[in-house]
């Protein structure tokens, strides 16, 4: 059981993308966290693809979404996030 998202460990949510905006997300410890972050970011206008890597703690977003909107979505899901690269 994950204390961050309170869901059982599950499968990961896709592979990291090399395009778009890259972020470092803190606090993701299981597949449930990845799903939670992915779902939150996919709800941001302009986002076409989301890739989360739990092991690396990274988030890659493809599309024309605003960086601030993505950050707000991740923080809204309960995780700290900073722009990477």
Q: Is 37 exposed, middle or buried (0-12, 13-18, 19+ CB in 10 A)?
A: buried
CB-nearer residue toward Cu ion: 30 or 52: 30
Number of residues in contact with Cu ion, rule: CB under 5 A? 6
Residue 46 near residue 64, CB atoms below 8 Å:
yes
**Interacting residues with Cu ion between 29 and 48 (CB under 5 A):** 30, 32-33
Does 2 bind Cu ion (CB under 5 A)? Our answer is yes
- Between the alpha carbon of residue 43 and those of residues 3, 8, 24, 36, 85, the distances in Å are 24, 23, 19, 11, 23
**Shortest Cβ contact with Cu ion: which residue?**
2
CB-nearer residue toward Cu ion: 26 or 48: 26
* Window contacting Cu ion (CB under 5 A); options: 22-30, 38-46, 53-61, 75-83: 22-30
């Amino acid at each position: 059981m994950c204390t961050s998202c309170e869901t059982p460990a599950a499968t990961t949510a896709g592979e990291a993308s090399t395009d778009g905006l890259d972020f470092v997300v803190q606090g993701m410890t299981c597949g449930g966290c990845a799903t939670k972050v992915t779902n939150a970011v996919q709800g941001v206008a302009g986002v076409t693809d989301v890739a989360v890597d739990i092991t690396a703690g990274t988030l890659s977003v493809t599309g024309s979404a605003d960086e601030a909107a993505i950050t707000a979505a991740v923080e809204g899901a309960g995780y700290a996030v900073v722009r990477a690269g």
